[in-house]
Amino acid sequence: MSFIEISHLRKSFGPSTVVHDFNLSIDKGEFVSFLGPSGCGKTTILRMIAGFEKATSGSIRVGGSEMTNLPPAKRNVGMVFQAYALFPNLTVAGNIGFGLKIAGKERGEIDARVAEMLELIKLPDLGGRYPYQLSGGQQQRVALARALAVKPQVLLLDEPLSALDAKIRVSLREEIRALQRELGITTVFVTHDQEEALSISDRIVVMNQGHADQVGTPSEIYNNPATRFVASFVGTLNLFEARVVDPAAGRVSIDGQPVVTRRDISAFGIADEAMVALRPEALTLGGGDDDRNTLTGTVEEVAFLGAVIRVRVRLREARVSLDIFNDPALELPKIGMPAVVSFKKEDLLIIAPS
Ligand code: ATP
């Protein structure tokens, strides 16, 4: 049995159901992210695990014990919110020790634990400061220490990085992951940022309108999106309605041009429509051979993005975007130039209809 078992969880607010029959098992020590657009129900599920929100039906078990109707204080769960949730009138040490004080721990034990937590978040000298004297990144580290001080069995993180600027966001997410691994604490992390979810998680739950569209490792989600929603939400993707020409041989046509996929399309019939996808980094300008498909068109736009240059090619009706690595020696494609785009047959993804 898994450490966290969520079964048939449902949540309605009045007439509107925002979480539908949600099921998920999480192993001890796992780092799982809920990824999805605003309003898809990620936070509501997290709040039901924490006990801040009551489930309409279904159950949540942690470590074999039924949690569904326990008050938050009885769940032994630590939570970090988006931002600025520290108590402004308490020092850093006071914030970190708060949960222990409420639990009636002795002064000496609280002080020792606070010092240990300050070391853990690499702010050993800042215990006497107040939250307003800290940067946003430091405040979130203190919030993390406060959540961990009570030795929770589960750590819940609700977009803890989203209010920070880009550089701090990346360094703090790496620190959170390192710390989580070191402590081995089972963690659920909510984000709408696909790069964040891909980089930090053991598994990702892609949420769409109150249910999980796909649950998988970052590479499963990125390389084999199960639905059109997952394909378009995770990664920048070229999506096409293709026409199946020969299901047994994997032959389809994109915008009237014949291509071959190595993915199994034997369930489709001749002339069926199939949603197919190509990732920009799987495409090359020029260069078809026996193992590579080609599509021909005209360069429509060239955008310099720093590490890569994104080129948009117009086929007949459809458009395809591809990335080429920046190289100062490279001559950039020019708008209006004829272009051949090539890609490996295994890189033509087939998306199941949703
Ligand atoms: P975000 O990233 O914007 O927080 P989310 O995926 O976490 O989005 P939730 O906060 O879980 O989404 O909200 C899911 C849906 O439930 C939304 O449509 C929201 O308006 C609704 N909702 C959340 N809390 C309440 C509430 N207390 N009363 C009524 N509706 C609510």
204 shares a domain with 121: yes
State the DSSP H helix or E strand holding residue 114, giving kind and residue range, or none if neither: helix 107-120
Rounded CA separation 308/300 (Å): 17
What local confidence, expressed as pLDDT, does residue 354 receive?
53
Regarding the beta carbon of 12 and ligand 1, being less than 6 Å apart is answered no
Regarding the beta carbon of 85 and ligand 1, being less than 6 Å apart is answered no
68 shares a domain with 183: yes
Of 232, 259, 277, the residue that ends a domain is: 232
268 shares a domain with 127: no
Of 191, 216, 232, the residue that ends a domain is: 232
What local confidence, expressed as pLDDT, does residue 327 receive?
86
280 shares a domain with 335: yes
- Render each residue's pLDDT in the chain as its tens digit; 354 residues: 799 999 999 999 999 999 999 999 999 999 999 999 988 999 999 999 999 999 999 999 999 999 998 998 888 999 998 876 899 999 999 999 999 998 889 999 999 999 999 998 888 999 999 999 998 889 999 999 999 999 999 999 999 998 888 888 898 899 999 999 999 999 999 999 999 999 999 999 999 999 999 999 999 998 888 888 898 888 767 889 899 999 999 999 999 999 999 888 888 999 999 889 898 889 999 876 778 999 999 999 999 888 889 999 999 999 999 998 888 888 889 999 999 999 999 999 888 765
Regarding the beta carbon of 41 and ligand 1, being less than 6 Å apart is answered yes
Q: How far lies 238's CA from each of 34, 170, 218, 288, in Å?
A: 24, 27, 19, 19
96 shares a domain with 121: yes
Instruction: Write the CB contacts of 285 (distance below 8 Å, at least 6 apart in sequence).
Output: 311, 322, 324, 333, 339, 340, 341
302 shares a domain with 315: yes
CA of 45 to the centre of ligand 1 (A): 10
Radius of gyration over every alpha carbon of the chain, rounded to an integer in angstroms: 25
227 shares a domain with 169: yes
206 shares a domain with 347: no
Q: N- to C-terminal Cα distance for the chain?
A: 30
270 shares a domain with 177: no
Q: At what angle do helices 136-149 and 107-120 cross, to 10 degrees?
A: 130
Rounded (5°) CA angle 236-319-209: 40
Structural domain boundaries enclosing 124: 4-232
72 shares a domain with 191: yes
Of 232, 251, 278, the residue that ends a domain is: 232
Give the residue, by CA position, lying nearest to ligand 1 atom 28: 13
Regarding the beta carbon of 225 and ligand 1, being less than 6 Å apart is answered no
Q: How far lies 51's CA from each of 70, 95, 208, in Å?
A: 7, 21, 22
Torsional sign, CA 192, 195, 200, 204? positive
CA of 19, closest atom in ligand 1:
14
Tokens 């026996």 — which residue? Answer: 290
60 shares a domain with 126: yes
What local confidence, expressed as pLDDT, does residue 201 receive?
96
CATH number of 136's domain: 3.40.50.300
Rounded CA separation 143/138 (Å): 9
> Total domain count for the chain?
2
240 shares a domain with 228: no
Tokens 């107040």 — which residue? Answer: 130
DSSP state of 247: T
CATH number of 275's domain: 2.40.50.100
pTM for this structure? 0.86
Regarding the beta carbon of 210 and ligand 1, being less than 6 Å apart is answered no
Regarding the beta carbon of 54 and ligand 1, being less than 6 Å apart is answered no
Rounded CA separation 4/6 (Å): 7
